[in-house]
Amino acid sequence: MSNHEKMVLTGNQGIARGFYEAGGLLAASYPGSPTVEILDSIKDYEEVYAEFSTSEKVAFEVAIGGSFAGVRSMASMKHVGVNIAADPLMSFTQTKTNGGFVLLTGEDPGMASSQNEQDNRILGKFANMGIVAPGDSQEAIDYTKAAFDLSEEYHLPMMVNITSRVCHSRTPVVLGERKEVEPRVFEKDVERYCMIPPHTHPLQHSMKDRIDKLKEFAYDSELNTFEEGEDKDTLIVTSGLLYHNLKELDLNLSIYKLGMVYPLSPKRLQELSQKFKRIIVIEELMPVIETEIKMMGIECEGKKYFSFTGELHTEDIEEGLKKAGVITERTTTDRAPVDSVKRTPLFCAGCPHRPIFDILKKLRKRVIGDIGCYSMAMFEPFQASDSIISMGATVGITKGMTKANALTGKSEPLVSVIGDGTMFHSGLPGFVNLLHQENETDNMTFIVLDNRTTAMTGGQATAASGNYTSADDMHVDIKTFIQAIGHENVVEVDQFDYEATKKVITEETNKPGISFIIAKRPCALKFKIQENTFYVNPNVCIGCRNCIKTNCPPIRMKKYHNIDKLKSSIDPSMCAGCSVCAQVCPVDAIQPKGQHPDHSKKGSAKYKRQEYQKMKLNNEDQNEDPK
Ligand code: SF4
Ligand code: SF4
């Protein structure tokens, strides 16, 4: 991409470009929608160090290190990731930033891909950060650059607060030049960088002073713009994408558009309030700007006309303005609900998680789930997860439920499932915690689903990806790691060996104590695994649907020519050749392509597993790198 070139970028690409043009040198992140593409895009700039860390807290700390060392640094994450990073965040904002520091947070109004909806402007204010909120891709570039400049000028970490709609929509931008920023020197200054009393007391005051200076900057900053319209009674205060949604209504209103949403300039708002009879704030989620203005003693309205949840589309804004009496007629109609076919999310063909959940369902185990693509186990047909709260929470919840059951005289073996990425992210402290207060009545089985990737966010590496990806070759052996903590009972299984895995899960969940099962199969989608495909012989199939219940997308019941009853079939273009369906078929109707059922071989599940192992070995010989 050359300078001054016009192009169309997503908001996420705009943030990445802004980081590059600002002279950013270090970026760290943990993958999460809607912001995952920011770091993926930054990785394309060779001048920059960029890493997906094991959690948002670690990413934030890596970026703190970059700033301490004097370079422009950014940590990017989805909104809930900031909760994980909140501990270092709340202390770091007390220090005077050395190299410019930006925390990028991606909000998800409407929760398209998140477990909750939270407004991180509140966290930014809580942490005493300046906050800018871009509304399109050009602003994503410009505001990121401005945030780095402000961070260095005012020695404050800045928050760039972006919403999922802006992250993913594409708008035109003009590319600028990269500014080479001379790294600042890190000088020993314990009063500035060591967050212990008595240093923290004066730093609290200096942090507030720095925010007050930023209020002065906000007074006539180009980030905040005032447009005088024909309506001289009402002033609309808004920011980000909502400004563009409002402009679509072509209402000729007076608008104060905030690029910097925190802090606001009290002086500026006092002046504006003198000119207008009413101030109406339009903002998504929480009434953050509205509350700030009210705290200045200035009357304003907002949330009573607009929803506190979800996105505010142009139609919602128009409806709110009509409720407020700013307009009398509407030109748009309410958004018609999108008439889409309801589809339950599915595990992919050949997904190594499916046999695990099929087994857990058949064994009727209570399963405490976690965040990752395996969260889909809560849906039909598995319905095998009883709880999903937040990243890594399964471990503590499982322990808490076990202890509560013991206190109330109940006894129930609990199974906890956690992905490899989630385990490294925030499951490990829970694993250590299990060793406190362990007693012989505990019966907890932790299944680590090691598919060598964070599949849900597009296949970024995990600490265990190791030789599966050359891009990031850290290789932590999960079994060794868990044993090193002090857990003795750790078993590895190949979950494509269905019967053996079922036997291990049955044994481990039945015996008392804490056990770990590591299910080791790489993600079929990420590593494009397609071994020999399987087919159904309809003349042998008895239509029992055992294979269908494994929930693999290529399998369906269909009508064959000259056969009355519905029989199973497999779409070969989708089959990844994992053999699980063949292993659950009671009559050997499912066979590897190119082979014909040999019904003389009784006990054929074993036979098929042997065939499958042979096939796998052949494949590994032919292609050692499963990418
Ligand atoms: S072998 Fe069966 S379970 Fe495995 S991917 Fe093919 S159809 Fe799905
Ligand atoms: S499990 Fe076997 S017999 Fe049953 S429907 Fe599937 S292919 Fe047919």
Residue 532 CA to ligand 1 centre (angstroms): 10
Known binding residue 578? Answer is yes
pLDDT, position 401: 94
- For the ranges 360-364, 436-440, 594-598, which has the lowest average pLDDT? 594-598
Known binding residue 547? Answer is yes
Instruction: List pLDDT tens digits, range 274-322.
Output: 999 999 999 999 999 999 999 999 999 999 999 999 999 999 999 999 9
Query: Residue 263, preceding bond cis, omega within 30 degrees?
Result: yes
Residues 6+ apart with CB under 8 A from 474: 461, 463, 465, 466
Residue 24 CA to ligand 1 centre (angstroms): 46
The Cα 387–Cα 416 span in angstroms is 10
* Pairing mode, strands 513-520 and 443-450: parallel
Which band of pLDDT confidence, cut at 50, 70 and 90, is reported for residue 608? Answer: low
The Cα 392–Cα 475 span in angstroms is 20
Q: Do the beta carbons of residue 89 and residue 103 sit within 8 Å?
A: yes
Q: What is the DSSP letter of 171?
A: E
Tell me, using a 6 A CB cutoff, whether residue 476 lines ligand 2.
no
Test site for ligand 2: of 568, 569, 599, most ligand atoms within 8 A of the Cβ:
568
Phi-psi region of 173 (alpha: psi -120 to 50; beta: other; left: phi over 0): beta
Residue 127 has pLDDT above 80, yes or no: yes
Test site for ligand 2: of 358, 498, 536, most ligand atoms within 8 A of the Cβ:
536
At residue 263, the 3 state secondary structure works out as coil
Known binding residue 348? Answer is no
Handedness of CA 605, 611, 616, 617 (dihedral sign): positive
573 by Cβ neighbours in 10 Å (0-12 / 13-18 / 19+) ranks as: exposed
Tell me, using a 6 A CB cutoff, whether residue 563 lines ligand 2.
no
The Cα 582–Cα 346 span in angstroms is 20
Residue 180 CA to ligand 1 centre (angstroms): 53
Q: Tell me the average pLDDT across 65-90.
A: 97
- For the ranges 146-155, 253-262, 366-375, 596-605, which has the lowest average pLDDT? 596-605
Instruction: List pLDDT tens digits, range 91-125.
Output: 999 999 999 999 999 999 988 888 899 999 999 99
Query: Residue 198, preceding bond cis, omega within 30 degrees?
Result: yes
Maximum average pLDDT range among 436-440, 505-509, 621-625: 505-509
Q: Do the beta carbons of residue 276 and residue 232 sit within 8 Å?
A: yes
Test site for ligand 2: of 545, 552, 563, 575, most ligand atoms within 8 A of the Cβ:
545
Instruction: List pLDDT tens digits, range 35-60.
Output: 999 999 999 999 999 999 999 999 99
**Listed residue (116, 120, 53, 111) closest to 86, CA to CA:** 120
